[in-house]
Amino acid sequence: MAAEVSSKYAVQMHGITKRFGSFYALTDVDLDVERGTIHSILGENGAGKSTLMNVLYGLYQADEGEIYINGKKVNIKNPTAAIENGIGMVHQHFMLVENFTVTQNIVLGSEPTNGPIALNMRKARKNVLEIVKKYGLEVDPDKRIRDISVGMQQRVEILKALYRGAEILILDEPTAVLTEQEIDELLAIMKNLIKDGKTIIIITHKLKEIQASSDMCTIIRRGKYIDTVPVKGVTEDELATMMVGHAVQLVVDKTPSNPGEVVLDIQNLYVKNEQGINAVKDFNLQVRAGEIVGIAGIDGNGQHELMEAVNNLKKCKGKILVCGEEIQNRNPKYGIDHGLATIPADRHKDGLVLGFSVYENTIMEKYRTEEFSPGGRINRKKMRSFAEELIKAYDVRPEDCGPRKAGALSGGNQQKIIIGREIAQEPKILIAIQPTRGLDVGAIENVHKMLISERDKGVAVLLISFELDEVMNVSDRIAVIYDGHIQQIFEHGTVDNRTLGRVMAGGEIEDTELEEIKKKVQAEKAAEAAGEDVSEAEPAAEVIPVALSEETAEESAAETAPAETAFAEPESEEPAAENELTAENELAAENETAEVSAAEAAPAETAFSEPEIEELMAVNETAEIADAADADSVRTAEEEEETSGTSPEAPEVPEVPETPEVQEAPEVPEVQEAPEVPQEETLAEPDMEQMQHELEQMQQSLVNLQKQIAEMQKALSGRQ
Ligand SMILES: Nc1ncnc2c1ncn2[C@@H]1O[C@H](COP(=O)(O)OP(=O)(O)OP(=O)(O)O)[C@@H](O)[C@H]1O
Ligand SMILES: [Mg+2]
């Protein structure tokens, strides 16, 4: 029930209804968020959480309902209005300019100037550093976005909102892309913000995080308001039950495996990373029929490159065998034809063609078969009935989503389509990379059950997951990857996550110690089974940073993509002949290179909806700067400032060689930023001029070199 309108609430949304066509994403939803609190929103995939927040941020207009900020009724017609009302939003997909530095990104659109044109980047940098310090949001202001981790990029987004004066911060699934350690850091930052009187609304599927962070939690189910409860005093089970509407099994229940023949056999594998360095080295692993092998490891230990090689997206040295047949250094289709199915980590880039309908996405790997394209034409009736079955079996919502663009579905429901499609391939080896990321607890339970049921059917399953608990619970064997190779392998139930953490950091556990750990773990399990409380004896699972790779955010377009379908579905069950394109033409996402599938085929406009573009425009008010897409334009203003002598902070003599070497080019930003210490007292005027001149020349040549490097890298990656 909605609370009385009062100034003690930072946000009140009353009776919010939002329709997409005839579909009700939200029906009469209330949200009351007290100022200075952390308020989480919980709901299944597709429940309407992001839609509700997009309404608050002005990306969508509600069809019905009112919004009050600090007790005053407001009309938030676009993100600019939201910002004016002190609302900031960190989307799961970041909106940063990769080539710009942290500072440039933060101030973009709100740059302090000296007079009408000249930018005062030094002042901007100082302001940014003040916010960084105030909230413990440590981030290097001079680094370029493309050079920092996803966790750091998220901080930049938070800084961006704070820089614009946000008092109310919306975080949409902020932890889905973070390592466990980064999650802890984010929670600490959130607490700092609250101390300063800010209000935070956070969407997360992770019940533990709600309990660790929030004061109140509002639960939404299928677009309807269920309840708002204080987080203290409510258990994870109770939250899950309220969210799904029935009890959910949070712990994986499985019988021991019964492994058969080796299906996937990786021998002495070496794979290079983007920099040409071996990220995978002397990697050996076997996965047998009827077992689940989980790979645990800290971000950047070769997981990404390993998967690229296995999926034939990258050349490698060594052998990758599926049922005794070498599949390496071919093309993605070759692997698929030999029984390899992959649930990719990045569902937008590698999993779906967002601009294609759900129907079409379900047959991405099958459309050229005789079954679906007899005589080279897609049998759309067959496609639809196949897709409808899959939608039902995997509980993809809404049930009538078949004709919609895949991009219009919520992130979790997109994932269900991919999982269903890959399992329908009846693979011999199923590789699941972070298969439950962004899924609600009910959906996670289903995915785990599916992986186990595939295993029980005799499929070899390789699981790579962000969630250490998931790897530990679901896997029959846990292989720890470290520095590109398998450091150690453990049987299920013989190791705790603290020990795994040690191995993930490069340690090795001796047999005798392992025996001790095994006894302890098994004793704990037995005690747990007997209903004893072991939480006292053993503190809650230690937080260990595990991540697959530096993923860029990926829920993105789902939240905002327009509703129209990619292809108009014919009215009749049997489509008119002229509507039938050939299979080749119609599903352009050719399997030869998996990257093509989504990355290229998905039209750019699905990435941002109009309101999002509007938001970007709002942020990009200074068009010249945005257009430059490089540090050059910003630097020019600084140079102006320096040469005109208005700045007391002249540059220190940089230790840059006369003729800069190619590999030093990326250091440009460091050279560009003038140091903090004023040098006027120690340098005579003529020296200054001379140095300024030399510095400019060097900077120019560095920039040129940098451009050349970028072009060469582009050309190289194009060839790979
Ligand atoms: N632009 C759109 N056009 C059509 N339908 C949409 C659009 N945006 C969202 N929807 C639908 O509205 C419903 C709610 O979506 P929303 O993204 O708000 O879910 P969510 O609760 O954030 O789910 P998730 O946890 O999976 O992110 C979904 O069924 C989704 O398909
Ligand atoms: Mg969402």
Q: What does the pLDDT look like over 517-564, one tens digit per residue?
A: 999 988 888 887 776 544 433 433 333 332 323 333 333 333 333 333
State residue 556 phi and psi, 5-degree precision. -5, -100
Ligand nearest to the backbone CA of 438: 1
Q: What does the pLDDT look like over 143-155, one tens digit per residue?
A: 998 888 788 888 9
- Distance between CA atoms of residues 99 and 20, nearest Å: 36
- Tell whether the model's pLDDT for residue 602 goes beyond 70: no
Closest to 121 in 3D by CA, of 635, 667, 626: 635
Tokens 């327009």, located at residue: 562
Q: What is the 406 CA–ligand 2 centroid distance (Å)?
A: 14
Q: What is the 43 CA–ligand 1 centroid distance (Å)?
A: 11
Once rounded to an integer, what is the mean pLDDT over residues 450-464?
Answer: 95
Is residue 268 within a helix (H) or strand (E), and if so which, with residue range? strand 262-272
Q: What is the 398 CA–ligand 1 centroid distance (Å)?
A: 9
Q: What is the 45 CA–ligand 1 centroid distance (Å)?
A: 8
Closest to 292 in 3D by CA, of 437, 420, 417, 449: 449
- Tell whether the model's pLDDT for residue 304 goes beyond 80: yes
Q: What is the 512 CA–ligand 1 centroid distance (Å)?
A: 52
pLDDT band of 21, cuts 50, 70, 90: confident
> Which of 45, 51, 395, 612 gets mutated to test ligand 1 (max ligand atoms within 8 A of its CB)?
51
* Chain-centre distance for alpha carbon 583: 32
CA-closest residue to ligand 1 atom 7: 408
409 pocket-lining for ligand 1 (C-beta < 6 Å):
yes
526 pocket-lining for ligand 1 (C-beta < 6 Å):
no
- The percentage of residues in the chain with a pLDDT greater than 90, rounded to a whole number, is 44
427 pocket-lining for ligand 1 (C-beta < 6 Å):
no
47 pocket-lining for ligand 1 (C-beta < 6 Å):
yes
- Tell whether the model's pLDDT for residue 697 goes beyond 70: no
Once rounded to an integer, what is the mean pLDDT over residues 288-314?
Answer: 92
CA-closest residue to ligand 1 atom 29: 46
Q: What is the 324 CA–ligand 1 centroid distance (Å)?
A: 44
Q: What is the 188 CA–ligand 1 centroid distance (Å)?
A: 29
- Determine the pLDDT at residue 531: 67
**Residues with a beta carbon under 5 angstroms from ion ligand 2:** 50
48 pocket-lining for ligand 1 (C-beta < 6 Å):
yes
- Tell whether the model's pLDDT for residue 141 goes beyond 50: yes
- Distance between CA atoms of residues 619 and 82, nearest Å: 12
Ligand 1: which atom is nearest the Cα of residue 60?
1
**Which tokens is 396 given?**
């993809």
Q: What does the pLDDT look like over 31-83, one tens digit per residue?
A: 999 999 999 999 988 899 999 999 999 999 999 999 999 999 999 999 999 99
13 pocket-lining for ligand 1 (C-beta < 6 Å):
no
Q: What is the 411 CA–ligand 1 centroid distance (Å)?
A: 8
- Tell whether the model's pLDDT for residue 603 goes beyond 60: no
CB distance 408 to 414 below 8 Å: no
- The percentage of residues in the chain with a pLDDT greater than 70, rounded to a whole number, is 72
Q: What does the pLDDT look like over 87-140, one tens digit per residue?
A: 999 987 778 898 899 998 998 877 666 666 666 778 888 888 999 988 888 899
347 pocket-lining for ligand 1 (C-beta < 6 Å):
no
Q: In angstroms, what CA-CA distances link 433 with 255, 466, 579? A: 22, 9, 37
Q: What is the 59 CA–ligand 1 centroid distance (Å)?
A: 13
CB distance 456 to 290 below 8 Å: yes
Helix (H/G/I), strand (E/B), else coil: 377: strand
20 pocket-lining for ligand 1 (C-beta < 6 Å):
yes
Return the axis-axis angle of helices 632-643 and 685-719, rounded to nearest 10°.
180
- Determine the pLDDT at residue 198: 96
Ligand 1: which atom is nearest the Cα of residue 23?
5
Helix (H/G/I), strand (E/B), else coil: 364: coil
Ligand 1: which atom is nearest the Cα of residue 48?
18
Q: Which residue has the higher pLDDT, 567 or 492?
A: 492
Q: What does the pLDDT look like over 642-691, one tens digit per residue?
A: 333 333 333 333 333 333 333 333 333 333 333 333 333 333 344 455 55
**Which tokens is 187 given?**
């929670």
Once rounded to an integer, what is the mean pLDDT over residues 403-428?
Answer: 91
Q: What is the 47 CA–ligand 1 centroid distance (Å)?
A: 7
397 pocket-lining for ligand 1 (C-beta < 6 Å):
yes
Q: What is the 652 CA–ligand 2 centroid distance (Å)?
A: 48
407 pocket-lining for ligand 1 (C-beta < 6 Å):
no
- Tell whether the model's pLDDT for residue 252 goes beyond 50: yes
Average pLDDT of the chain, as a whole number: 77
104 pocket-lining for ligand 1 (C-beta < 6 Å):
no
Q: What does pTM read for this prediction? A: 0.62
CB distance 18 to 62 below 8 Å: yes
- Tell whether the model's pLDDT for residue 577 goes beyond 60: no
Peptide bond into 398 cis (omega under 30): yes
442 pocket-lining for ligand 1 (C-beta < 6 Å):
no
> Which of 559, 605, 606 gets mutated to test ligand 1 (max ligand atoms within 8 A of its CB)?
559
- Determine the pLDDT at residue 563: 33
51 pocket-lining for ligand 1 (C-beta < 6 Å):
yes
- DSSP state, 714? H
Domain annotation for the chain: domains and CATH numbers = 9-244 (3.40.50.300), 262-529 (3.40.50.300), 614-719 (no CATH)
Q: Which residue has the higher pLDDT, 715 or 619?
A: 715
Q: What does the pLDDT look like over 194-229, one tens digit per residue?
A: 999 999 999 998 888 899 999 999 999 989 999 999
Helix (H/G/I), strand (E/B), else coil: 36: coil
Q: Which range scores top for mean pLDDT: 43-52, 287-296, 562-571, 626-635?
A: 287-296
- Determine the pLDDT at residue 507: 85
Q: Could you write out the DSSP letters of every residue in 634-680?
A: HHHHHHHHHHTT--S-PPP-----SS--GGGGGGHHHHHSPPSS--T
Q: What does the pLDDT look like over 381-400, one tens digit per residue?
A: 999 999 999 999 988 989 99
410 pocket-lining for ligand 1 (C-beta < 6 Å):
yes
398 pocket-lining for ligand 1 (C-beta < 6 Å):
yes
- Distance between CA atoms of residues 487 and 364, nearest Å: 36
